[in-house]
Every structure is written in structure tokens, then in C-alpha cells.
Structure 1
Amino acid sequence: MKKIIGRIKKQELLKEAYDSGVPELIAIFGRRRVGKTFLIRNYFKDHLQFQLVGIKDATLPVQLEQFSSTLGKASGNPKLYRIPEGWPEAFDQLSNFLTPKLMRERCVVFLDEFPWLNTPKSGFLQAFDHWWNSWANDQDNLVVIICGSAASWMIEHVVNNKGGLHNRITRKIRLLPFTLKETEAFLHSKQVNLARYQIVQIYMVVGGIPHYLKDIKKGESVAQAINRICFTKDGLLNGEFKNLYSSLFKDPTRHLSIVRVLAQNNSGLTRKNIIEKTTLSSGGTVTLIFDELIESGFVTPWKPNDKILKKSYINFPMNSPISTSNLWKKMLDLGRKYGKILA
């Protein structure tokens, strides 16, 4: 089992869920690359009885074939289960697989990239609703974890579900990027020993995203690491901007236009300003786009402390005055003065 860095509160929540002795349905969400799958697989390594990963843009037959193959491998006999004709049959097969195991021990089921399993007209979400309410919710030894990078979809269709899953989620976990302290611990675990001032510089470029931070190499200077990761042809972040948004949103064109406008203004912009600069139409669609960007952690809303200014602003998390704008400057100034950064 690989060591889990930080995430102390999240690990405590997972322990509480596992030790509760009652059926648990846990929803975990957060932007891609933030470490959701790593956390669940490593924390529950010895208790995962079944884990399925949705395939982006795959058809229903492909998803069901993947389900059948995964269930067969979990049972130790790849040919034990036939490919189900639909999700209701697939969940019946999963129940049959789990029943004898649940009589002996507490079992964890992990459905990763949950939104990708819900292909158009597949009936996946309805079938999952029915499976949970008609069978899984009565299994005291069962923990089901559903995970997705499309945070807004998870909140709308799972956490705030108005149908069969309404009020069925027992615990919610929003996994955020590492804090500076966790970033320092993560780099130290890789024998990358940088001064705190240098860690802040790295953090301001790649954020607290484990997938990006693990590409920092021992012995590299900050400048060398940033140049290699961001600006070389095969750099990890070369092309990541478009790929990341495309993986999260069906049509990221409007999301990207908002992000590009915000990138040109460090102080943030009001919703009205953004709509004017992007030529987007005001209405429900643009509201949904704002919500998706906010829930995915790419932008953050904030209100000035000045009571005279009652407008709400939207900006990148690092530039938001309520969270970091002055803090980053102060930390960098301290770093230059004393050669270190306070965590």
C-alpha cells in the first residue's frame, strides 16, 4: 500500500464509514488529477471487492462488456458472468457476487468515473437508484463509493438527486488540491527537498495537484522543473489545458472563453463583465457553466469586504482577495527577506 500524504480529515471520514456497521453510500468528487482514485484504492486496498471505472464517451455495450470483464476478474473466473443486456441485469450480477462475501466481512464497492457510466439512454442512473434502494441499502456490511471528476454533474445528479437517490448519500467528500503544508510533505516523500520559498513558487505554477507535483524531480531547480513540465514538447502540462477541460465538460468552448477572460484580469470580474467580454448570452445555460467551473475548482466567487460594493466577483482561486491575493505576496516577500516561507 502506497503512503497517503495528508488528507487526514478525509481518512478519518472514510474510517468512520467503514466502522459504522451500516450500509454506506459515499460520494467523492473533485477535479481531475487531484487524487480521488489514489485515496480510495490505497485506503481500502484490503477491502475492495469490486471496482469499476467508467469509460469516457463509450457506448452502452462497451461499458457493459467492461463491467462483465471486471466482475469476472474479481470473482477469479473471467468467463463466469455473461455480458449483461442492460444495467439492471448487471447490478443483479453484482448482488449475486457480493452476497456470500457480505456474510463473512465488510465489503467495499468502488464505482470510479461514475458520470461516464451514465451514457445517453442507458438507464444507468435509474438502475443504480433501484439497486441501492431495493438491495444494497439493506446490506449492513456494504460500503459503496461513487466517484467522479465532473463535480457539477455529481452534485446535480447524485448529491442533490430528486429521484431514488434523494437523501441516500450518507457521506460526501469534496477532495481539494493539497495545501502548502501537504505539498511540502508530498515533495519530501519523493526526496525532493526544496526551501519553502521554492515550494511556494512551484505551488503558484502547478497548484497542489499531486499528479503534477509527482513530476518534480530530485535535484532540479525550480526554474528547471517549471521549464521542463510546462514548456518542453513532451512536458506534462504541455497541452494539459485543453485536455483537462475536454475531459470534464461535453463542450468546453464556453468554459474556456470564461477562463481566458479571467486570465486577463487579476482582480476578478463580475458575472455581467464576463458575459460582456465573452459575448455569451445571459441565462440558465451560462449560469450552469459558471456553476460547473466553480464546483470543479477552477474559479471561485467572492464578495469585497467593502459594504459599498455589493457585487459578487469571480476569479481564479489563487487570485481571490478573500483567500490568497495578499497572502501570496506576503509569503513571497517573507521568503525573499528570510529565505523561508511560513506554512
Structure 2
Amino acid sequence: MFIGREEQLEQLKALWRKPVASLVTCRGRRRVGKSTLIEEFARRNRVRFIKLEGVEPQQGVNNETQLKAFGQQLAEQTGCEESQPENWFKAFARLSKVLNPREKTVLLIDEISWMGKYDAAFPGELKYAWDNRFSKNPKLIMVLCGSVSSWIDKKILKSKGFVGRPSLNLLVPELSMHECAAFWRRGGCRASSTDIIDVLSVVGGIPKYLENIDPALSADENIKRLCFTPGALLVGEFDEIFNDALDVNLGQKKRILVSLGDGGKTPTEVAETLGLENNGHLSAYLEELETAGFIARDTGLNPSTGKPSNVVRYRISDNYTRFYIKYIEPNREMIQKGTFTFVSLAQLPGWETMLGLQFECLVYNNLREIVKRIGLDQTLILSAAPYVQNPTTRTSGCQIDLLIQTRRMVYVVEIKRRESIGEWVVADVEEKISKLKTPRSVSVVPVLVYDGSLSKRVPADGYFGHTISTLEMLDSSARLDA
């Protein structure tokens, strides 16, 4: 079941209009559907498709293993003679010979970090092959894909050898909320928006997880089946995606994630929490976690000056990761033994607080939809990020869930998920705005993004410039044109 990705498909399709070969890097969180996207692109365009995939690193796997698998896959898909190439120079030479310069071909090198893990010469051989062989084929789109985004980042995107060579750096995000809702429309089922948001708050917009949702079950039943049953998909999933994406220094990186479980922190706060030094090692770990899609880095502009904020904060940006850290991992042994009793999300300890963080994460990952519904041109936005104004001797502190800034406007976005949202939300936001320092030349517009039953008096009051419900964001028929 392929859903969404129309923007990425159009970006890829545009490459056919070039008179020369295209090199594409494709990055994104594991299970987000990177290789599926490329396969779908080839299928829709009815072109030749070749997929060569690296072998997952484990005991006994080495460079010989990778070369052997390369030769076997190439023979199976192209009909060429099956034999193990001696090295990567010869492997890529053999590959280039089976590509027809008169036939449109999508070539996917999947899990490239695994493929090149055991030979330091691999990136250099790939560069040589591209420059002298693949780039000469005007009908070729060659895609380099992998779950270890940091490998592609270091070896390709930031490598001097590959400067200027990639035609497209494709970043595959989670599915949007309205795309996710399609997984509940299978058959005759019609789930409530509350049930859908409950599940998305746990798993996010990851296609692999959503494919395992049973639309005939309630949110609590689905979450129990996926997260709290022996052998369930999401019980052991974290170890797999975390270990594959980050490779080394896993212990320290895991500790950093745990420290961010209760909300965003500055690098200094992370260091203090973990008893570490705020140095280059910590910065490198944070950068790798960000590149792998586990955390997000929020900077934005200082609304009082219009200049970049000198405070950097990191937060968990993956719904499943936080849910795993807070609720699955502490109970994992009991879950595997079948002795953990899960009744409902509401009965999980601290869920009301965690629900707020999970819902905020979901909204941040759907920022483009929020911007559309406010009616903003994406190109006018200078900054869009959570904002914390620290108290000083002259100003009070305040925390804004999401601050969207243009040259003349500041949108103060309040993100709320409650069973019932009353007029008190107006007072809450007004207090924040009264503390927020902004120039007199800038207009401030309050915005409410919510899930729950909103008192009719709130929109009638006219305080919020925009009120955006999750029901609107889930409903594809309510979408606005980009």
C-alpha cells in the first residue's frame, strides 16, 4: 500500500528532463520508506529498475561478503554472468556494462553504508565509477540510499570528492497526518480522530508501523498489540533502528536520548544531566542523533532582535523513540514474559504530561500543514521553532510551543491536546504574549492548534487569529493547495 510522497516523486521525475545522468542521495529514518519510494518512482515511470543492497553487518560479514552479494544480485537482476568481483573497481565496471545508454534506468544502491563498511577505498572507487562510467549514461538515475544517514553525509555530501556531483539530495520525512489517516480507511472502517491521534502519538508517521495497524481495533488495542505483547513489532524495534543508524558509541548516544525524554534541553543542560563535558564529543553525538532522525535542533530567531538566537535546544523528534524510552524499555522484560498488563494509554504513569510532548512532536512534524492553514507563503517564513525566553532582570521568562516569524508578523502557536479545552486557553496564551519581547513594528497573531473538544466560546471570542483542529489536518478533503 503506497501512500503519499507526491512531492518527492515529482522531484525525481524532473530529473528525466536533464540531458545527462543524475546522482541522487536519499536519506531518512529507517522504516520511513526510502527504497519503497524509489521503487514506486521506477514503477510509475515504467522504466528499468535495478536494486543492489548491502548485507547487514553481523559476525562473519566482511568485504568479501559484500562483493559476493553484489555479484549475485547483479546476475539475478540483469542476467549477466554470476561471479564475485575481485574489488569495487571491478564491481562497478561490471555494473556499468549492463546499463543501456538508450534505456531509461533507475539504479538503487541500497544500504550503501553497509556495502562500503569494510573497505576504506569504497567511496573513492564509487566516485571514480561515477565520473568515468555512470555519469556518461544520459538515461540513468543512480540513487544512493541508506539508513545510516551520517555515512552518506560524511562520505558523499560533505566529501570533497563528491562536491557538485549529486543532482538531488532527497530527504524522506514521515508521512503527513492526512496521509497517515488513509491507513484507517481500509475496508469499511472509520476510526475516530481521537483514536488516530492516539496511535500517531505513539508511532508517528512511519509507514512500516502504520501498515501494521488494524483499523477494526481501537487505539488501545492496536498499541497493546504492537507495543506490549511478547514478540510484537515495536518491542525490539528500537534496538534495530538505533544500532543500524548510529553504529558506534551507542551507550552515550542512548543516554542523551533518555535525557531528552522529558523535553528539550540545551547542550549545556544535557551535559549537566549526564555528568559530561560540553565539548566536541557531545556536539558530534548530538549531530549524529539529529542526522539519524532521532532528535531535532531548534534555533530560530530572537523575536526582539530579529537575529539568530544564541540558544540552541535539542528535542526528541521521533514519537516512537520517546514512547519506547518512557514505556516499553522499562517494562521490556515483563512484556517479553507476557506478565505486563496494558489496559489503556491513559493508565500509563505520567501519560498526561507525555501526551502533551507526543502531540507537540506530531505537530512539529506537520509544520508545513500548519503554515498552509495559517495562509502563509513558505518563502516568507524567517523562522519556525519552539521558543524559550529566559528571564532576566528586565523581562519575565516564557515558553512558546511554536513561534513562526516573518518580517512583519510573529505567530504565537499554542499546541493543546485535552479532552476539553475551555476559555482558560485564551488567558494562558495572552499571558505568554504579554511576556514575549517583540518590536513595536511587528504584529503578533495568536494561533491555536488543538485536539479535543473546544469550547464554542473560544472561536466566538475572536482572540485567536487561527484555530486549527486535528480533524482538519487528518481530513484529506479539507486540504489546502500549496
- Corresponding residue for 1:13? 11
Distance 1:270 1:331, change over 3 A: farther
Distance in 2, matches of 1:35 and 1:323, equals 30
CA contact (8 A) 1:30 1:176 kept: yes
Distance 1:270 1:232, change over 3 A: same
CA contact (8 A) 2:71 2:82 kept: yes
Distance in 1, matches of 2:420 and 2:179, equals 18
- Corresponding residue for 2:86? 85
Matches within 5 A, 1:292-303: 292-303=288-299
Distance 1:28 1:340, change over 3 A: closer
Task: Identify unmatched segments of 5+ residues in structure 1.
Answer: none
Distance in 2, matches of 1:8 and 1:328, equals 30
> Is 1:74 aligned with 2:154?
no
Post-superposition Cα deviations, 1:218-276, rounded to whole Å, max 9, x if no partner, equal 3100110011111111221112222221111112211110010111x32x111011012
Matches within 5 A, 1:31-110: 31-45=29-43, 46-57=46-57, 58-76=61-79, 80-98=81-99, 101-103=100-102, 105-110=103-108
* Greater strand fraction, Structure 1 or Structure 2: 2
Pick the aligned partner of 1:4 from 2, 5, 8.
2
Pick the aligned partner of 1:241 from 238, 243, 247.
238
Q: Highest Rg: 1 or 2?
A: 2
Letter of the structure 1 residue corresponding to residue 125 of structure 2:
A
- Corresponding residue for 1:29? 27
Shift of 1:191: 5.8
Matched pairs, number: 333
Distance in 2, matches of 1:259 and 1:192, equals 37
CA contact (8 A) 2:23 2:142 kept: yes
Distance in 1, matches of 2:192 and 2:136, equals 52
What SS does structure 2 have at the residue aligned with 1:50? strand
CA contact (8 A) 1:302 1:322 kept: no
CA contact (8 A) 1:51 1:110 kept: yes
CA contact (8 A) 2:51 2:108 kept: yes
Shift of 1:329: 2.6
Distance 1:56 1:108, change over 3 A: same
Letter of the structure 2 residue corresponding to residue 297 of structure 1:
G
What is the percentage of aligned positions where both structures have the same residue? 25
CA contact (8 A) 1:192 1:217 kept: no
Distance in 1, matches of 2:420 and 2:125, equals 52
Shift of 1:212: 0.7
Letter of the structure 1 residue corresponding to residue 289 of structure 2:
L
Shift of 1:49: 3.7
TM-score by length of 1: 0.89
- Corresponding residue for 1:329? 417
CA contact (8 A) 1:331 1:342 kept: no
> Is 1:180 aligned with 2:177?
yes
Distance in 1, matches of 2:70 and 2:414, equals 49
What SS does structure 1 have at the residue aligned with 2:243? helix
Distance 1:119 1:187, change over 3 A: same
Post-superposition Cα deviations, 1:8-32, rounded to whole Å, max 9, x if no partner, equal 1101001111343321001110010
What SS does structure 2 have at the residue aligned with 1:82? coil
- Corresponding residue for 1:271? 267
Distance in 2, matches of 1:65 and 1:175, equals 30
CA contact (8 A) 1:75 1:97 kept: yes
TM-score by length of 2: 0.65
- Corresponding residue for 1:154? 152
CA contact (8 A) 1:109 1:144 kept: yes
Distance 1:166 1:335, change over 3 A: closer
Letter of the structure 2 residue corresponding to residue 312 of structure 1:
V
Letter of the structure 1 residue corresponding to residue 89 of structure 2:
P
Distance in 1, matches of 2:235 and 2:196, equals 21
Post-superposition Cα deviations, 1:40-83, rounded to whole Å, max 9, x if no partner, equal 11221342442111112231100000011011112235xx1421
RMSD (CA atoms) = 2.5
Distance 1:23 1:328, change over 3 A: farther
Letter of the structure 1 residue corresponding to residue 265 of structure 2:
L
Letter of the structure 2 residue corresponding to residue 95 of structure 1:
S
Letter of the structure 2 residue corresponding to residue 185 of structure 1:
A
Matches within 5 A, 1:225-236: 225-236=222-233
What SS does structure 1 have at the residue aligned with 2:9? helix
Distance in 2, matches of 1:39 and 1:323, equals 32
Distance 1:189 1:161, change over 3 A: farther
Distance in 1, matches of 2:10 and 2:268, equals 42
Distance 1:250 1:335, change over 3 A: closer
- Corresponding residue for 1:285? 281
Distance in 2, matches of 1:185 and 1:212, equals 13
Distance 1:83 1:180, change over 3 A: same
- Corresponding residue for 1:261? 259
- Corresponding residue for 2:471? 341
CA contact (8 A) 2:21 2:140 kept: yes
Letter of the structure 2 residue corresponding to residue 149 of structure 1:
S
CA contact (8 A) 1:191 1:218 kept: no
Moved more, 37-46 or 224-233: 37-46
Distance 1:136 1:341, change over 3 A: same
- Corresponding residue for 2:135? 137
Post-superposition Cα deviations, 1:151-194, rounded to whole Å, max 9, x if no partner, equal 2221222122212x111000111001111111112332576531
Distance in 2, matches of 1:112 and 1:191, equals 37
Moved more, 284-293 or 25-34: 284-293
Shift of 1:323: 8.0
